[in-house]
Structure 1
Amino acid sequence: MNPQFEELQKRMNHIGNLNNYLEDLLAKIPGNLLSGKQQAKLMDVLLDDSDLTSLLEGLKDPRPPRFVLVGRTGVGKSSLINAMSGRYLAEVSDVEIGTEEARRFTYESDGQVYFEVIDTRDIGESEAFTKDADAEAELAAVVKAFRPDAILFLQKATERAHSDIDVESAKKMMLSAGYGLPMVGIITHVDELNPSRIKDPADYPPGKLALMEDKKGQLRRIFKEQKVPVDAIIPVSSYIEWSQDPDDLSEVERGELTIGFDGRYGIEELLDFLEQSIDIRAAIHLGMTIRIHKISERIALRFIKVFSTLAATVALSPIIATDIAVLLSLQTVLLMIIAYLSGRDLAFKTARELLVSLGGIGATGFTLRMIAQQGSKFANLILPGAGSAISASIASGGTYAIGKAAVAYYLKGVPEEELNKVVKNARDEFDRGLE
């Protein structure tokens, strides 16, 4: 197993046990900065948030994503899985799952499971299946027990026949699961669209890109006609030339193949969609196994979103000035978590110094924003609740900006002298989101 994966998993699991992790962090806060009552308030705010709880559970217990693949023979399912992982994965068939209409696979490499998949390749191709209620019920039971994270509907870009039948099959898969699922329409083999000789996505001419848009529109219309909700339609090319011919190698040797020519298109967009749409545990595993260089940043951004909301909760306290220590401690904890994701274990003093440096000393600096935040609470004397709402917006936006600066500094290597610019841009980004 990848040592970097193991180290990152260890760190995420540690953060996931937030009760213990918070005790470690809060123990580093000097006693004169946060009273026992304020410390209890901070713990209550953190541990009562459902979004944070979901994120922590995902960090403690990531698992391989589970997909149901719907598509005809030759549509490129295994090629898509390999393209998503960037590795030539071993396709391992599981034990009998109780139906002849589907097979269950795991896709593995070096003892690491990347995906769990049910391939319903025969559905739509077999008229007997569409008329066999027992077979349909068996498959429905299998899909429901599998509890997939998403249905991936695959259609080859150069073919359109039977699309309506296949979309109907995808609809049955969604209903069989028994709960709302992301449905992704994936148009495969877009590299084979004219001019098919051009395999490098950087060289795709406008005409080829226009054909992809036409294919997207056609598939979207079919989903609409069949009254099947589809969350995204993504054209992809899984075209990869491996360093050696996989057919000439053993299974172990295939796992060591490297990419000789990379003709992949749309795969990053697909991975982005899945990471944002599927169960958090599966999304974290997906990022850790496939895009380990990006996963820390993505997890940090999730923490920023949660902590920005928590900052607003703290700031809604109607009592003037009582929440400043709690809010600043909350922001410092966010900095320490992001630093920890980067592999650094900060002392509270070091994180606090960076927080202060991000505050700025000018009229538009964060320090005066905090003063303005507290001043806004005087509005409560005139219109109860109005000042606290203003205060919450300022606190939330400031926390968001500080988190983004921490990502830039610890995960992207942006120099400290450039962080005030990052903070300003993040504040503007946050404010635009409120418009």
Structure 2
Amino acid sequence: MNPKFEEMQKRLTHIGNLNNYIEDLLQKVPGNLVSDKQRKKLIEAITDDEDLGDLLEGLKNPRPPRFVLVGRTGVGKSSLVNAMSGKYLAEVSDVEIGTKEARKFTYEADGQVYFEVIDTRGIGESETFNTKAEDELTEVVREFRPDALLFLQKATERGHIDKDVIATKKLMDKTGGDLPLVAILTHIDELNPSRIKEPDGYPVEKLNLISEKKAQLARIFDEHGLEATAILPVSSYIEWERPEEDGGGPRIAFDGRRGIEELLDFLEENLDVRAAIHLGLTVRLNRVAMRISERFIKIFSALSATVALSPIIATDIAVLLTLQSILLMIIAYLSGRELEFRTARELLVSLGGIGATGFTLRMIAQQGSKFANLLFPGAGSAISAGIASGGTYAIGKAAVAYYLRGVPEDQLRQVVEDARREYDEQQENE
């Protein structure tokens, strides 16, 4: 098996098992570091976070996104799906679905289903597409329960758009009209000058043409009373090559994709959470891991502030170190690695380039600030809370940089400094 694929499968397993890992992790926290009462409050704080709860629930039951594709022959449906996945997917047709005006496909690779689609090849294109065909297609779409309808139109063509838009509006109206409708302008790389395929090298005249085509499609939608949730121009242009070694699938030799990341961003924000999680896990694994990590950073930063508000000098160091260790272990786990508590605590000293001395001084500063309580009750704890919360935030950001973004250790000092500034700015704006 391909080592890269094995690594991906390991990370998929880790992320999918995150809920159980966290529960086990919290139960294994050494009893001399946190009390049972503190452990219980920590579990409650994590499980009560609604956004994180939705993410973890999506991880339990992810499913492939389901799309209805509307577009004529040659509009680039399979190319778009391949561009979205970054893989040369196999197009597998299922059994008949009750209408000759559409076909149902799954797009697969390495035994993994990436997308389920209904290709409405008859809509707008066939002269025999009548009321009966519309009703049959409507029923199929309802049973399919799609996450979104993708309306594909070649940027280089103008004909037939009105007819396709009218047919799409009828389908939307008959199915309830509450589906996200994404209008996608394909083949923008073929707009003049068509010889320029490099996505970052589009000249001004090409960019202007893309804007004009987008505005044109928006006007046509408006004329026919069809509202698109988004209109996104994309290039799915990829040149594939097959590696010489046996068993290797086609790989990208030239990547001319443009606008695909924006499309994926939109879909992840608008799909059912289970479909969005699946999309992220199969297409942008690191994006899902970072999204989950950011939520944990927020939760643990808030918990650190709560711990630091204890007015008793030096009683919170063990709990704070435990919180930061758990945060570090969770982020490492999302990258496919597992750390022991001892290793995590040792890494806290060096991760972020702050060094043992800097870490100790920060802790002393945190505890020392509590002496202010002797003169101004509550003031020292408030200062300590800010230091603790900001420090946890910076440690989380450094862990994401190190484990998920591959930032070298010698560059993490800057990551920590930037994170501290970012945290301070957020506090000032609240």
Distance in 2, matches of 1:51 and 1:179, equals: 27
Distance in 1, matches of 2:239 and 2:306, equals: 57
Per the alignment, residue 278 of structure 2 pairs with 285
Superposition deviation, residue 122 in structure 1: 1.9
> Are 2:331 and 1:332 equivalent residues in the alignment?
no
Per the alignment, residue 24 of structure 2 pairs with 23
Q: Give the paired residue count.
A: 415
Q: Which runs of 5+ in 1 are unaligned?
A: 245-252
> Are 2:94 and 1:94 equivalent residues in the alignment?
yes
> Are 2:13 and 1:10 equivalent residues in the alignment?
yes
> Are 2:291 and 1:301 equivalent residues in the alignment?
yes
- Kindly indicate whether the alpha-carbon contact (under 8 Å) linking 1:243 and 1:260 is maintained by their aligned counterparts in 2: yes
Per the alignment, residue 209 of structure 1 pairs with 207
Please tell me the residue identity of whatever aligns with 1:423: V
Please tell me the residue identity of whatever aligns with 1:17: N
Structure 1 residue matching 2:17: 3-state secondary structure:
helix
Structure 2 residue matching 1:92: 3-state secondary structure:
strand
- Kindly indicate whether the alpha-carbon contact (under 8 Å) linking 1:45 and 1:314 is maintained by their aligned counterparts in 2: no
The two structures have a TM-score, normalised by structure 2, of 0.80
Distance in 1, matches of 2:198 and 2:56, equals: 40
Superposition deviation, residue 413 in structure 1: 3.5
Per the alignment, residue 65 of structure 1 pairs with 65
Distance in 1, matches of 2:50 and 2:155, equals: 41
Distance in 2, matches of 1:255 and 1:183, equals: 36
> Are 2:425 and 1:422 equivalent residues in the alignment?
no
Per the alignment, residue 255 of structure 2 pairs with 262
Q: Which runs of 5+ in 2 are unaligned?
A: none
Would the alpha carbon gap of residues 31 and 143 (structure 1) be closer, same or farther in structure 2, given more than 3 Å must change? same
Structure 1 residue matching 2:107: 3-state secondary structure:
strand
Distance in 1, matches of 2:287 and 2:250, equals: 28
Distance in 1, matches of 2:206 and 2:349, equals: 52
Per the alignment, residue 121 of structure 2 pairs with 121
- Kindly indicate whether the alpha-carbon contact (under 8 Å) linking 1:377 and 1:391 is maintained by their aligned counterparts in 2: no
List per-residue Cα deviations over 1:90-121 (Å, max 9, x = no partner): 22111222233322111123332221101123
Structure 2 residue matching 1:125: 3-state secondary structure:
coil
Per the alignment, residue 184 of structure 1 pairs with 182
Would the alpha carbon gap of residues 225 and 382 (structure 1) be closer, same or farther in structure 2, given more than 3 Å must change? farther
Moved more, 225-234 or 38-47: 225-234
Per the alignment, residue 81 of structure 2 pairs with 81
Superposition deviation, residue 38 in structure 1: 0.2
The two structures have a TM-score, normalised by structure 1, of 0.79
Structure 1 residue matching 2:117: 3-state secondary structure:
strand
- Kindly indicate whether the alpha-carbon contact (under 8 Å) linking 1:87 and 1:255 is maintained by their aligned counterparts in 2: no
CA RMSD of aligned residues (A): 3.9
Per the alignment, residue 139 of structure 2 pairs with 141
Moved more, 177-186 or 232-241: 177-186
Structure 2 residue matching 1:185: 3-state secondary structure:
strand
Distance in 1, matches of 2:175 and 2:293, equals: 30
Per the alignment, residue 164 of structure 2 pairs with 166
Would the alpha carbon gap of residues 164 and 115 (structure 1) be closer, same or farther in structure 2, given more than 3 Å must change? same
Distance in 2, matches of 1:394 and 1:150, equals: 45
Percentage of matched positions with identical amino acids = 59
- Kindly indicate whether the alpha-carbon contact (under 8 Å) linking 1:297 and 1:411 is maintained by their aligned counterparts in 2: no
**Residues 295-374 of structure 1 correspond to what in structure 2 (within 5 A)?**
295-296=285-286, 298-309=288-299, 311-312=301-302, 315=305, 320=311, 328-357=321-350, 367=363
Superposition deviation, residue 326 in structure 1: 5.3
Structure 2 residue matching 1:159: 3-state secondary structure:
coil
Per the alignment, residue 233 of structure 1 pairs with 231
Structure 2 residue matching 1:17: 3-state secondary structure:
helix
Distance in 2, matches of 1:117 and 1:190, equals: 23
Superposition deviation, residue 79 in structure 1: 1.6
Would the alpha carbon gap of residues 349 and 199 (structure 1) be closer, same or farther in structure 2, given more than 3 Å must change? same
Structure 2 residue matching 1:351: 3-state secondary structure:
helix
Would the alpha carbon gap of residues 122 and 219 (structure 1) be closer, same or farther in structure 2, given more than 3 Å must change? same
Distance in 2, matches of 1:377 and 1:283, equals: 48
Would the alpha carbon gap of residues 338 and 83 (structure 1) be closer, same or farther in structure 2, given more than 3 Å must change? same
Distance in 2, matches of 1:304 and 1:232, equals: 26
Moved more, 424-433 or 106-115: 424-433
Would the alpha carbon gap of residues 314 and 411 (structure 1) be closer, same or farther in structure 2, given more than 3 Å must change? closer
Distance in 2, matches of 1:94 and 1:52, equals: 35
> Are 2:191 and 1:193 equivalent residues in the alignment?
yes
